[in-house]
Amino acid sequence: MKPSATLMVQGTTSDAGKSLLVAGLCRCLYKKGHKVVPFKPQNMALNSAVTADGGEIGRAQALQAQAAKLAPHVDMNPILLKPSSDTGAQVIIHGKAISDMQAKAYHDYKRVAMEAVLESHQRLTAAYQTVIVEGAGSPAEINLREGDIANMGFAEAVDCPVIIIADIDKGGVFAQLVGTLALLSESEQNRVVGFVINKFRGDIALLQSGIDWLEKRTAKPVLGVLPYIMDLRLAEEDGLQANQALDKQDVKLQVAVPVFSRISNHTDFDMLRNHPQVNLTLVKQGDPLPPCDLIILPGSKSVRADLALLKELGWAQQLAKHLRYGGKVLGICGGYQMLGQRIRDPQGVEGTPGESEGLCYLPIDTVMTPQKQLTHDSGELLLTPNNTQNSPRPIPIKGYQIHVGRTQYLAEHQGFCALSDGQLDGCISQDNQVAGSYLHGLFDSPKALQHILLWAGASTVEIQDYYSQQETELERLADACLTHLDWTKIDSFITHSPKKETIE
């Protein structure tokens, strides 16, 4: 392969390390002086971010943008699919939701989607020196090869080199790499310029014989073996991390989050997971809500369906018991809507048209409408801890909204926060035990996090803000990539064109 302004990372499986390798390459190339930009043609995820221009992209691309020291832009992820059922998804093109489609209908729509992908890629190549592309899933999914826009279909269309990454921690890494390569067409095999092995633990000398065999068998170089980076706290896109058994010596607050079938934006809880004085439990379906100080109802892509699930699993009764014993409940986005009196979906925006009775803890009604709210917001937190006088003011808070519901208040109420545009967001119950907000990322600001935890019942230390925490972890990732990747070879795959103007 001749050098290209575009370099693509594909994986042998989902969660092989594609997102992190792209983030690592972006940060390394930025440090080397490149004008570099991340790109994912098609992403399927319920974890999304809002761009400055009011669009919606995958959360992983927002993290990769941070790695490249850029503001997120819709061209970084032109196609986003947000699953609403096992066979259907909301289709978002260039940041805007266009429709809900079943899998077969979307398969037939891929030709149109590819046009949007190539438009975005063309704009990025015109504005940046280097485009680092993330594939989706595996390029060896035979049933998805026709009309592919996410892996080799895209690579062939733009004629770019491809690196394939595999996770050795799962086992079978050589079978993954050899098998994936064997299932590609001859032209696709020719554009694979090398492999990266991810999450290796132990003495690299013990792996060398396997690397030698792989390179001889495939005639492709191993471009690096990345170590298993302990406690890497970068935002996960594909799924929730398991409950971590971190050694926390001074836990002051127990927090539980019931995991819905269509839970969205679970990165909301990363700051709680990493707080040294908070023990966060993700409650699996079928498990009871544990004794705790605070229960958080998360966002959902299918609010009425997940509300029905919450009731079916007995969580609603357990929530009521938790409140009777003096616990606190906080709802975020869809979880906030569930805490109201009713949720109506007359047009079937999130599924079957109909109406559901809420949990009836807040004086609000919500109607689902096709128009999605996509905003960045900041303001002042209005939540007041019990028995706390002269609470410091103002408590700044910021976050972003991604939702389709329009909520109206049924009675005089206390807002969760006052936004800078003069509007109130959210609601607090009269007894101060239940609160809700549309803001995702509400824990990312240190003072807001500390204040919400005080409302929940504990005085805690103030910790690093989310952006700075992610910066620290991105630097750890970049150090590993700089140390363990063959940059002589990687640089040879990338053209070194003059620096270009970035997209604002």
**How far is residue 355's CA from residue 303's CA, in Å, rounded to a whole number?**
11
The pairing of strands 299-300 and 263-264 is antiparallel
| Annotation says 440 is catalytic | yes
Among residues 34, 94, 322, 440, the one annotated as catalytic is: 440
Q: How many whole angstroms separate alpha carbon 13 and alpha carbon 150?
A: 13
Q: How far is the C-alpha of 396 from the C-alpha of 445, rounded, in Å?
A: 8
Longest Cα separation, the chain: 73
List 333, 417, 427, 481, catalytic entry? 333
Q: What ranges in 95-234 are assigned the alpha helix state H?
A: 103-127, 152-158, 173-182, 186-191, 208-218
Is 403 noted as a catalytic residue in this protein?
A: no
DSSP assignment of 48-91 equals: EEE-TTS-EEEHHHHHHHHHTT----GGGSSEEEEESSSSEEEE
Q: Which single residue is written with the structure tokens 């058994």?
A: 245
Q: Per the structure block, which two tokens stand in for 71? A: 């503001």
The span from the CA of 58 to the CA of 81, in Å, is: 9
- C-beta separation of 14 from 167 below 8 A: no
Q: What is the rounded (10 degree) CA torsion for 332, 333, 336, 337?
A: -160
Sign of the Cα torsion 346, 348, 353, 356 reads: negative
In eight-state DSSP terms, residue 266 is: G
In angstroms, the CA 93 to CA 99 distance is 10
Task: Write the single-letter amino acid at 256.
Answer: A
Active site residues: 333, 440
